[in-house]
Amino acid sequence: MTDTGETYKGEFYCVKCKEKRETEGNVVESNGRRMAKGTCPVCSTKLNRILGKA
């Protein structure tokens, strides 16, 4: 995984809370796909969102 230096602000789905949460995360690239990684503001679980191919 390589950090692209971008940030993504939007909705992530929290598996622990089972709800969509609005937060901000860093964009990383893994296997040719861009992913946003953030933290749930309620339960502090790590969140991932696949953004698509780079």
Query: What is d(CA 7, CA 35) in angstroms, rounded to the nearest whole number?
Result: 10
Residue 54: which pLDDT band, with cuts at 50, 70 and 90?
low
Residue 14, burial from CB neighbour count under 10 angstroms (0-12, 13-18, 19+): buried
Query: What is the model's pTM?
Result: 0.80
Mean pLDDT in the chain? 92
Per the CB < 8 A criterion, the answer to whether 23 and 43 are in contact is: no
Structure tokens at 5: 């230096």
Q: What is the pLDDT of residue 23?
A: 95
Q: What is the pLDDT of residue 52?
A: 80
